[in-house]
Chain A
Amino acid sequence: EVQLVESGGGLVQPGGSLRLSCAASGFTFSSYAMSWVRQAPGEGLEWVSTISGSGGGSYYVDSVKGRFTISRDNSKNTLFLQMNSLRAEDTAVYYCAKEVSGWQVSYYYYMDVWGKGTTVTVSS
């Protein structure tokens, strides 16, 4: 069974740091790009970051560039999100998601498996 399990969330003060982890199982981890998507309380989904299967390419939403770093350890089937200089607006449930991407008639990038999420609260 394909499974993603996030951990590492918690309460942190503004300006603080947190490192999220996502343990993957049931698929060949290194063959897939992985993403983090967040959802602020009562709000919609927001894509945060994606990393390629090899780890050689990474992408970020503008609001987290320079503060968050996505990485992966393919030997341990684990995805990470290092979050520094946290702000109140980073408060959200953070989901880890497996991405399917490619080209057929057109390019496609979608998330076919999601974890249950881990909650990050930034507050003093």
Chain B
Amino acid sequence: QSVLTQPPSVSGAPGQRVTISCTGSSSNIGAGYDVHWYQQLPGTAPKLLIYGNSNRPSGVPDRFSGSKSGTSASLAISGLQAEDEANYYCQSYDSSLTGSRVFGGGTKLTVL
């Protein structure tokens, strides 16, 4: 079991908007640590998508947005495109174990 909980899968048609949730606890997201999101296209290494809850690195389209509230965070993807089909992972820090970076279990996005 992952420390951060994500839905195993989400889907949407091209052009639609989907959201992926990431639920943590009082020792990670709820403790105030930032949440970050990564996109992993099939057969490739993960790529930073959102950092600091809602910031996009240079080159990431503004169709991708992130938010955080309480012990949860969300990734929203609007105007779905076929190339968005990938696995998405949230990541934070957990204070219950020194130095622990923690990932969610990942969410497979299928573009119908």
Contact A45 B89 (CB under 8 A): yes
Interface size on B, residues (CB 8 A): 29
Stretch at the interface among A10-18, A21-29, A75-83, A112-120: A112-120
Complexed CA–CA distance, A58 and B57 (Å): 27
Could you tell me the dominant secondary structure of chain A's interface residues? strand
Residue of A61, A110, A115, A117 touching B100 (CB-CB under 8 A): A61
B47 with A47: CB separation less than 8 A: no
Interface residue total, chain A, C-beta cutoff 8 A: 28
Minimum Cβ distance to chain B for residue A102 (Å): 10
- Contact A106/B51 with A45-B103, A46-B103, A47-B100 known, Cβ cut-off 8 Å: no
Contacts of A50 in B (CB 8 A): 99, 101
Known: A37-B46, A108-B52. 5 other contacts (CB 8 A): A44-B89, A47-B102, A111-B38, A111-B91, A116-B44
